[in-house]
Structure 1
């Protein structure tokens, strides 16, 4: 009986990764990486087949250390493969038995001159692939097999180089890899704003260039009593822009979502089922038009109730040796749908905008 209960619990954990509260398993990490994995009950063989069916996507999803290792390994294996083929060609043709390749026996046609061992065959395969020029070793035009093998190596080598080059360019140009300077606040807050209770988080842009057309979307993943993962879209806005995108991203932006009694944020999360709020941000670089994408997530214990973000002011950089964008201050919660006028504003954060600082930015 205990074994059956253990298996049942394990199956529930596998089907619903957010089910166990103490482990706090996430769907998305704080830096935006997906923490979910596909169903592995089919074994490693099915996982390998899935990776091979989507080879391009698998390659782009690899970390840089594995990409560099695959880059070096693929070329080494390519050279080694054709070194073996060139060596076998020389052995089958009898070139290895010729002592002096400059003066071969009458009637013997050498396929590759001076390939008299495996080391020479590997060197010839390397020179062929890198097109660094032949020295004493070169293929003989009177040996059709050597010409065919040479053409095959060049074709496969060009395909390999094209794939590797394209993969490197694609990894460098991925939108999520260009936005390390976009920071989400590590904590979200619930406070009262404009007469209603709101969920808020802040985003800061540390990129050297401004971003335009900034939009944010969010999905609430919630576990309910049926142990199913329910998804709910939440709309966040900035000031009076509503659902429209922010035209310019210079200073820190604070996004808010009005709460209602049906949302799990309205009360303390200890009395609610486990949930995770995943936030997606998209923006465009003004100079190049390239897209930026970044995401993060907030668990129940990463939401501060009765706090609000410190106000942000813009003054000269010399007056602010330490800039704190995500500081929070207490903001007591009153009854729902009541406006709190005593919003603490004693703590401020200073931010330099375009090298000057005289305008106040809320």
Structure 2
């Protein structure tokens, strides 16, 4: 019991440490903070207040929403109070009998606040109403109504923009939990799997990767987060992905690949992060979005391939089994890329894996070479 708790605690701490050291989390958020930013740069966020409001969390939007309306009612209430005071309408001014107020039943600060609220929200309870006695009050009523309409339009725009952000569409694009390295079409390839959970397509989808690592230059300078392009290929489609079913994307490990110098026994000792990007346009909303995920060496499995998840029923309908989406099976694979290209038959056999019981598998990919994305 104690040993299992220690194992669970060590695994939890290791996972938390790995999550903390990622640049991009599995769900696509960037794990980075900015320090020593000058005051002028902070002021730029205020100047670009529209983008700031759209990007901040909903809790702050609600706070600013309530605060803006409450403050506008209070400020306009003060102005109406000043108008009533200037006309001698207030109770403590003891207006004479037959006095005609600018606004009926506005006799103190509370009633002035209530009149500002009723005017801006067009409630019209009927207890307080403007009179034709003060021309300035009538002009201010017009200004008050226009400002209230502008505030309503502004917040409607903010809420609609936040609701229509493509971030939620990105939640329905899933990447496999792990990447695999195995032979494919006569080459050693690193493969990932991606799926669109909606039936609506992502138009113009493109997938590419960046390998982030620390490199040492010839001068001895350490470059943190040095970026290396990783090209992914796909066997279906021509220019863009036909993203109607899950796709397996692969990167050929040749002499130009940064994975060429790695081997099965040294892969998990490396320090790098493979960030994968998917750019596309949602078919239903025509909004562009980007989905991101990352893989660290511990999440790359050498000598495995993904299980087939597409089958066809007897009635001819295609079916995708997402329970096997991230499952893998072992395949004979060379110990390293150099072995694969120079020593045929020098294979590494993985022993673990899962079977795909009761699932009729069909191959929907064509044998010709892939199209570069």
Q: What's the TM-score bracket when you normalise by the shorter of the two chains? A: 0.7 to 0.9
- Structure 1 residue 173, shift from structure 2 partner: 1.8
Q: 1:129 aligned to 2:116? A: no
Q: Decide whether the 8 Å contact of 1:191 with 1:333 is kept in 2.
A: yes
What is the distance in 1 between the residues matched to 2:233 and 2:177? 19
Of 341, 351, 356, the match for 1:348: 356
- 1:37-81 deviation line (CA, Å, top 9, x unaligned): 33x3146x5564132022121111112233233222322222222
Map 1:97-108 onto structure 2 (within 5 A): 97=91, 105=96, 108=99
Q: Decide whether the 8 Å contact of 1:324 with 1:350 is kept in 2.
A: no
- Structure 1 residue 329, shift from structure 2 partner: 1.9
Give the secondary-structure state (helix, strand or coil) at the position aligned to 1:52.
helix
Scaled by the length of structure 2, the TM-score of the pair is: 0.75
Of 46, 68, 86, the match for 1:74: 68
Match of 2:27 in 1: 31
Q: For structure 1, which runs of at least 5 residues remain unmatched after alignment?
A: 1-20, 352-356
Give the secondary-structure state (helix, strand or coil) at the position aligned to 2:340.
coil
Give the secondary-structure state (helix, strand or coil) at the position aligned to 1:90.
helix
Q: Decide whether the 8 Å contact of 1:220 with 1:277 is kept in 2.
A: yes
Match of 1:64 in 2: 58
What is the distance in 1 between the residues matched to 2:138 and 2:72? 18
What is the distance in 2 between the residues matched to 1:260 and 1:271? 20
- 1:61-102 deviation line (CA, Å, top 9, x unaligned): 1122332332223222222222233223333433213789xx
What is the distance in 2 between the residues matched to 1:145 and 1:277? 67
What is the distance in 2 between the residues matched to 1:191 and 1:321? 22
- Structure 1 residue 358, shift from structure 2 partner: 8.7
Q: Decide whether the 8 Å contact of 1:218 with 1:277 is kept in 2.
A: yes
Change (3 A) 1:150 1:301: farther
Pairwise CA RMSD of aligned residues?
3.6
Of 169, 173, 177, the match for 2:168: 177
Give the secondary-structure state (helix, strand or coil) at the position aligned to 1:323.
helix
Q: Decide whether the 8 Å contact of 2:269 with 2:297 is kept in 1.
A: no
Give the secondary-structure state (helix, strand or coil) at the position aligned to 2:277.
strand
What is the distance in 2 between the residues matched to 1:206 and 1:120? 56
What is the distance in 2 between the residues matched to 1:185 and 1:22? 18
Q: 1:149 aligned to 2:118? A: no
Map 1:110-121 onto structure 2 (within 5 A): 110-121=101-112
Match of 1:301 in 2: 298
Q: 1:192 aligned to 2:183? A: yes
Scaled by the length of structure 1, the TM-score of the pair is: 0.77
Match of 1:237 in 2: 233
- 1:193-245 deviation line (CA, Å, top 9, x unaligned): 22222221111111143444332122222221313332222221111657x21
What is the distance in 2 between the residues matched to 1:53 and 1:349? 60
Match of 1:336 in 2: 340
Q: Decide whether the 8 Å contact of 2:309 with 2:322 is kept in 1.
A: no
Paired residue total: 329
What is the distance in 2 between the residues matched to 1:164 and 1:157? 11
What is the distance in 2 between the residues matched to 1:300 and 1:261? 19
Q: Decide whether the 8 Å contact of 2:182 with 2:190 is kept in 1.
A: yes
Change (3 A) 1:349 1:360: farther
What is the distance in 1 between the residues matched to 2:319 and 2:151? 55
Map 1:194-233 onto structure 2 (within 5 A): 194-225=185-216, 226-233=222-229
Q: Decide whether the 8 Å contact of 1:93 with 1:110 is kept in 2.
A: yes
Q: 1:282 aligned to 2:284? A: no
Q: Decide whether the 8 Å contact of 1:215 with 1:245 is kept in 2.
A: yes
Q: For structure 2, which runs of at least 5 residues remain unmatched after alignment?
A: 1-16, 217-221, 366-373
